[in-house]
Amino acid sequence: MAHLTNKDFTSDQEVKWCPGCGDYAILRAMQKALPQLERNKEDFVFVSGIGCSSRFPYYMNTYGFHTIHGRAPAFATGVKLANPKLSVWQITGDGDALAIGGNHFIHALRRNIDINILLFNNEIYGLTKGQFSPTSKKGIKTKSNPHGTTDEPFSPSDLAIGAQGSFFARVVDTNPKLMQKIFLEAEEHRGTSLIEILQNCVIFNDKTFAPITAKEVKQEAQLIVEDGKAMLFGAENNKGLILNGFKLEVVTIGENGITEKDILVHNAKEEDPTLHAMLARMRPPEFPAALGIIRAVNKPTFNEGLLAQLEYEKENAKFKTVDELLKSGDTWEIED
Amino acid sequence: MDKTTKVVDLEKVVIKFAGDSGDGMQLTGSQFTDTSALLGNDLATFPDFPAEIRAPQGTVAGVSGFQIHIGRIDINTPGDIADVLVAMNPAALKANKKSIKKGGTIIVNIDSFTKRDLEKAGYENSPLEDNSFEGYNIIEAPITKLTRETLKDSGLDGKSVGRSKNMFALGIVYWMFNRPMEQTEQFLKKKFEKKPEVVEANIKVMHAGYNFADTIEALPSSYTVLSANLRKGTYRNVMGNQATAWGFLAAAERANKELFLGSYPITPASDILHELAKHKNLGVKTFQAEDEIAGICSAIGASFTGSLAITTTSGPGLALKGEALGLAIMTELPLVVVDVQRGGPSTGLPTKTEQSDLFQALYGRNGESPAVILASSTPANCFDWSYMASKITLEHNTPVVLLSDGYLGNGAEPWNIKSTKDMPSITPNIATEGEEYLPYKRDDRTLARELALPGTKGMEHRLGGLEKEDITGNVSYDGDNHEKMCRIREEKINRIANILPKQEVFGKEKGDLLVVGWGGTHGSLYSAVEKLQKEGLNISLSQFNYINPLPKNTAEIFNNFKKIVVCELNNGQFVNYLRMKNQGVIFNQYNKLQGLPFTTSELEDYFKTLLKN
Ligand SMILES: Cc1ncc(C[n+]2csc(CCOP(=O)(O)OP(=O)(O)O)c2C)c(N)n1
Ligand code: SF4
Ligand SMILES: [Mg+2]
């Protein structure tokens, strides 16, 4: 197999997102990540719904399908079941996945079909010009709710964990290295991998993630978790998490007798999702936001289950051809 | 078994078994069907289930029925009205008052006509005691009592004893129609292989019923229906939904494709899903999705990836699939959508038949979005039409909507078994690796584009619902291009007419009255027209299976008749479609919206009036 580069994954279509949109960085990270998988280009399929984010497949020089609003998980499921050898990536927005497509989203996670879902969470409807979305912060004023929303927002991680998702990662559009790393690990993971990308929409919801991503705050406001490592963060890497009763707490090493040994060690493979959910819910200013692979547990996948049944039935079946089926059961002859 | 009564030969007869949902009437009816089929009768059957699964026992809402029409002549419908009714309780009698011929024979389980049973059925007094059924031949059989008596030493518990009552009724009817009981005995032995005591009990009760009928004097004679003049061949019974499923299996095998079904359960279409789900051994992948939308979307995903992809549903589900079907039209992917129609709008009449989704299939989408529309017309030919739908969709790369209905789907008839080898070949339209690939370049003749399947080297491309630029398939918002593409999509469908066989006429090609039907009404229309032809009337029938596009000779046929009447189980959808396509032609219409098929007698009456005026 020829070695591929990011150029091989770049299509000839002009990219049409607004200048400064976070989507550009995600596209570039993907185009750089895929060559590292050492797979043939024709084996990748990008499936999307509708939204600014869902234009993504047009810019990838792979097989792609820009489908209809909210339904991409179902298309991706069909692609994966029809040809399980393909590497299937679903691109979706917060409206696409969590409003109109909420049903398909939770069912994909529940089944644990082996696809990767990139949720571009900009907490707004971009394509339709700025209405609030199911992840918009409560009270936000938009054209469709000029007096401020009264909706409680969804937390994608809680939704994913509630749907028994086996893989949840979070990343910000300002960290291309971490994006690449997570994309590669998501592809390694067998089952539905959900990656929430905090993506800035410069036009309709600019800086909504600034409390997490702004240069001045990011070291204090981000905790990049790594499996098997102590959960430390901060400019001096001396802050960490401990469990105090049933609650997480931020502590500083050296203060109140805390040593590095007291800091929680991240275990992404833990089947019990309680701690994963707590980590994913953390938000500044009280906590840093958790980034990285928060949950990655091994579970049987839907596609493998179906294939195993198919193999078994083929080997043990009474008939192997349709003609044998048509003639099975009670039949009778009519003579001339 | 010796017969003590004289045997009368009948041309055809309609029998209806009716009882409480728990009385086993479907099984009783199927047993009678299978035995009659083995004797070489032609037949048609129709089950009539309650919409509620567990309606209160003994009530009219809980009555389940099974109607069978057998004959030594060609049988095309399950029959308008029964000659013989088996009513296991008062509710079954009440529910079927209109379904039994005046003067017909009614066998009732008299043990279930207690005061409580009558109350549950909403009778104040027993209808057998007032003159409600005067003129009918009522046979009061103590079925419960005699069943108990027969099994008193069997050691079976009361519940199991009660459950064998239906075998007593079956025994009576076997006697009446002079049928052997071996087939059912074999069936019971197989079904209850692990419970020999149950097998023995059921067989004993069936024989008791047979002997009861032979003994009592209430039955003046026993009838026989000789075997029909069916064409030479190997036969079996098939139900419409089963035949639809098998047609897809056959098509996938001939096209060398994997079959993928994405579906969500809905009456009366679920049996197609159930049937295909059984056949993983033949490589079928069935996916029970979270809703109808996911059903069709998963199928489109599988189609993009190279499967023969289908989705099955009924009216409410088709409504949900509209947007995705539009995507399949825009992306020009193969897809078959099966709509087993039921009464609508909304949830409507889930277990009753209707043909009212035609407009939805033709026009129920946003934008100019033409689809091929086909309709099956008999339970057995559901096989041919799902096969044809697959052939057209794979060769022309455009979605096909296949219309069936509850009456076809649940109806059964003998089928001269086809071999996949008898079916026309299928050549999927797929680009070969190595060519230069332009996703929207077309075949000059058919205007079909070629597919390139994920996994094929060098043919990576993107599809989507945004308008496509001609030839390249890139996104295009250009007005002229959009108009061109709309016209191409339309013309591509129209050109399919070039390969269709001629629309046929049953009867003379020219005449006084042409009866026009489409889809599932074939049996009733054919029976009525044939009868009137025999009476010497100048009447012909043309039943449509190709709805969009219409066969090319359609207009020509219409010009040859003085009068035309379009009959359909809706408020006039096909007739208005024909009016639009054949301006100037005058079409009469005959419509019925009762959740029931046409009866041949109502049709005959109507056609006669039309011929007179
Ligand atoms: C059936 C349907 N309803 C509504 C729309 C309009 N629509 C398109 S995208 C969108 C919301 C997109 O928001 P999101 O998924 O967050 O994507 P973003 O543009 O923010 O990336 C809506 C409401 C549509 N295309 N189809
Ligand atoms: S509207 Fe927002 S999300 Fe959409 S392209 Fe522009 S910046 Fe990006
Ligand atoms: Mg959004």
What pTM value is reported for the model? 0.90
Ligand 1: atom nearest CA of A95 is: 15
| Residue B210 phi, psi dihedral angles, 5° rounding | -60, -45
Of A129, A133, A135, A71, which is closest to residue A102 (Cα–Cα)? A71
Listing from the earlier edge strand, what are the strands of the sheet with B546-548?
B285-288, B259-263, B308-313, B336-341, B400-405, B372-375, B546-548
Q: How far is the alpha carbon of A92 from chain B, nearest alpha carbon, in Å?
A: 14
> What is the pLDDT, as a whole number, of residue B2?
46
The DSSP line for B470-489 is TBT--B---HHHHHHHHHHH
Cβ separation B235–A332 shorter than 8 A:
yes
The span from the CA of A238 to the CA of A232, in Å, is 6
Residue B584 falls inside a structural domain: yes
- Tell me the pLDDT band of B221, cut-offs 50, 70 and 90: low
CATH code where residue B273 lies: 3.40.50.970
Q: Do the chains contact at A86 and B455, CB–CB below 8 Å?
A: yes
| Cα gap A213→A222, rounded to integer Å | 8
Which chain B residue has the Cα nearest residue A305? B285
Q: How far is the CA of A52 from the centre of ligand 2 (A)?
A: 6
Q: Which residues of A touch B459 (CB under 8 A)?
A: 42
* B521 and B414 part of one domain: no
Q: A253, A229, A228, A231: which is closest to A241 by C-alpha?
A: A231
What is the distance in A from the centroid of ligand 1 to the CA of A146?
19
Q: Hey, what are B320's tokens?
A: 């949900």
Give the 3-state secondary structure of B233-244: EEEEEEEHHHHH
* A106, A334, A335, A336, best to mutate vs chain B, most B CBs in 10 Å: A334
Give A204 Cα–ligand 2 centroid separation in angstroms. Answer: 7
**B151 shares its domain with B187:** yes
- Whether the CB-CB separation of B252 and B95 falls below 8 Å is answered with no
Q: Residue B512 belongs to what H/E stretch?
A: strand B511-518
* Ligand 2 interacting residues, C-beta cut-off 6 A: A 17-18, 21, 23, 52, 122, 126, 201-204
pLDDT higher than 80, residue B121: yes
Which of B164, B195, B225 is a domain's end point? B225
* Centre of ligand 1 from the C-alpha of residue A102, in Å: 13
Predicted pLDDT at B96:
93
Predicted confidence (pLDDT) at residue B389 exceeds the cutoff of 50: yes
- Count Cβ atoms within 10 A of the Cβ of residue B8 and give its class: 0-12 exposed, 13-18 middle, 19 or more buried: exposed
Predicted confidence (pLDDT) per residue in A208-262, tens digit: 999 999 999 999 999 999 999 999 999 999 999 999 999 999 999 999 999 999 9
Q: Which atom of ligand 1 is nearest to the CA of A50?
A: 9
Question: Residue A33: left if φ>0, alpha if ψ -120 to 50, beta else—which one?
Answer: alpha
Residue B583 in domain: yes
Nearest CA to ligand 1 atom 9: A51
| pLDDT tens-digit series, residues B515-539 | 999 999 999 999 999 999 999 999 9
Tell whether B280 and B396 lie within a shared domain.
Answer: yes
Atom of ligand 1 nearest to the CA of A99: 15
B56 has a pLDDT exceeding 90: no
pLDDT, tens digit (0-9, with 9 covering 90-100), for A149-184: 999 999 999 999 999 999 999 999 999 999 999 999
Q: What is the CATH number of the domain that holds B522?
A: 3.40.50.920
Are A43 and B293 a contacting pair at CB < 8 A? no
Residue with the smallest CA separation from ligand 2 atom 2 is: A201
Residue B499 lies in a domain: no
Percentage of chain B with pLDDT > 90?
A: 81
Structure tokens at A280: 């994913």
pLDDT in tens, B29-47: 999 999 998 888 899 999 8
Asked, for residue B505, whether it belongs to a domain, the answer is no
List residues near ligand 1 (CB under 6 A): A 50-53, 69, 93-96, 120, 122, 124-128, 133
pLDDT > 60? residue B1? no
**Quick one: pLDDT band at residue B222, thresholds 50, 70, 90?**
low
Residue of chain A minimizing CA distance to B42:
A334
The count of domains in chain B is 3
**CA of A92, closest atom in ligand 1:** 15
Residue B447 has pLDDT above 50, yes or no: yes
Give the Å distance between the CA of B9 and the centre of ligand 3.
Answer: 75
Pairing of strands B63-71, B42-48: antiparallel
The shortest C-alpha distance from A30 to chain B (Å) reads 17
- In this structure, which ligand is nearest to the CA of A96? 1
Whether B482 has a pLDDT exceeding 70, the answer reads yes
H-helix segments, B227-372: 240-255, 270-277, 292-304, 315-330, 358-363
B48 has which bridge partners? B65
Asked if the structure places residue B459 within a domain, the reply is: no
Same domain, B78 and B125: yes
Please say if the pLDDT value at position A188 is more than 50.
yes
Residues of B in contact with A68 (CB under 8 A): 297, 323-324, 327, 465
Nearest CA in chain A to B33: A330
In this structure, the answer to whether residues B257 and B216 fall within a common structural domain is no
- The better pLDDT of the pair B563, B137 is held by B563
Q: Using DSSP, state whether A189 is helix, strand or coil.
A: coil
Contact between B105 and B27 under an 8 Å Cβ cutoff? The reply is no
Q: Which among A147, A114, A142 is positioned nearest to A126, based on CA atoms? A: A142
Could you tell me which chain A residue has the CA closest to the CA of B462? A64
- Higher-pLDDT residue of A23, B138: A23
Q: A322 vs B234: CB contact, 8 Å cut-off?
A: no
At residue A145, φ and ψ (nearest 5 deg) are: -150, 75
Same domain, B295 and B173: no
Who surrounds ion ligand 3 at CB < 5 A? Answer: A 93-94, 122
CB spacing of B38 vs A43 below 8 angstroms? no
**CB spacing of B418 vs A325 below 8 angstroms:** no
- Cβ of B258 within 8 Å of Cβ of A82? The answer is yes
Between the CA of A163 and the centroid of ligand 3 the distance, in Å, is: 21
CA of A199 to the centre of ligand 3 (A): 9
| Last-in-domain residue among B374, B407, B422 | B422
Contact A78 B287 (CB under 8 A): yes
Would you call A67 and B327 a contact, using CB atoms and an 8 Å cutoff? Answer: yes
Do the domain assignments include residue B431?
A: no
The protein residue whose alpha carbon is closest to atom 13 in ligand 1 is A125
Going by pLDDT thresholds of 50, 70 and 90, the confidence category of residue A335 is confident
Does residue B169 share a domain with residue B24? yes
| pLDDT reported for residue B8 | 67
Select from B369, B398, B422 the last residue of a domain.
B422
The closest-lying atom of ligand 2 relative to the alpha carbon of residue A52 is 4
Cα-to-centroid distance, A49 and ligand 3 (Å): 12
CB-based contact A71 B249, cutoff 8 Å: no
Chain pair A-B, CB pairs under 8 angstroms: 209
- The predicted pLDDT at position B212 comes to 92
CA angle B71, B543, B34 (to 5 degrees): 30
Looking at residues A187-191, what average pLDDT do you find? Answer: 98
Query: In this complex, do B234 and A331 lie within 8 Å of one another by their Cβ atoms?
Result: yes
User: Of A16, A55, A69, A200, which is best to mutate to test ligand 1, by the most ligand atoms within 8 angstroms of its C-beta?
Assistant: A69
Residue A127 alpha carbon to ligand 2 centre in Å = 7
b (16+ CB within 10 A) / e for B274-303 = ebbbebbbbbbbbbebbbbbbbbbbbbbbb
- The CA distance from A25 to the nearest CA of chain B, in Å, is 21
Comparing CA positions, the residue from B319, B499, B518, B325 lying closest to residue B404 is B518
Q: Which residue owns the Cα nearest ligand 2 atom 5? A: A17
Q: Determine the Cα–Cα distance for residues A261 and A267; give it in Å rounded to an integer.
A: 15
Q: HSE-up of B176 (CA within 13 Å, CB side)?
A: 23
Question: CA of B131 to nearest chain A CA: how many angstroms apart?
Answer: 44
Could you give all domains of chain A from N- to C-terminal order, each with its CATH number?
Answer: 6-208 (3.40.50.970)
Q: What is the distance between the terminal CA atoms of chain B, rounded to a whole angstrom? A: 56
Query: What is A173-185 written as a DSSP string?
Result: TT-HHHHHHHHHH
Q: How far is A59 from chain B (nearest CA, A)?
A: 9
Q: Are residues B47 and B11 in the same domain?
A: yes
For residues B381 and B518, state if they share a domain: no
Closest CA to ligand 2's atom 1: A126
B454 to A61: CB separation less than 8 angstroms, yes or no: no
Ligand nearest to the CA of A102: 1
Element (H, E) at B515: strand B511-518
For the sheet containing B588-591, what is the strand order? B539-544, B511-518, B561-568, B588-591
Do B268 and B207 reside in the same domain of the chain? no
Does the residue B255 lie in any domain?
yes
B212 lies in the same domain as B274: no
Query: Domain containing B100 — which CATH number?
Result: 3.40.920.10
What is the C-alpha to C-alpha distance for residues B62 and B597, in angstroms, rounded to an integer? Answer: 21
Q: Give residues with Cβ within 8 angstroms of B135, minimum separation 6.
A: B102, B103
Minimal CA separation from B219 to chain A, in Å: 31
Concatenating the DSSP letter of every residue in B69-113 gives EEESS---SS-SSEEEEEESSHHHHHHTGGGEEEEEEEEEEGGG-
Domain that holds residue B75: 7-225
pLDDT grade, residue B218 (50/70/90)?
A: low
Q: How far is A109 from chain B (nearest CA, A)?
A: 12
Average the pLDDT over B375-400 and give the result.
98
Residues A244-259: pLDDT tens digits?
999 999 999 999 999 9
Closest ligand by atom to A95 CA: 1
Optimal mutation site among A8, A71, A92, interface B, most CBs of chain B within 10 A: A71
Inter-chain CB proximity A77 and B294 less than 8 Å: yes
Residues B96, B165 share a domain: yes
User: Which of residues A73 and B5 earns the better pLDDT score?
Assistant: A73
Single-letter code of the amino acid located at B126: S
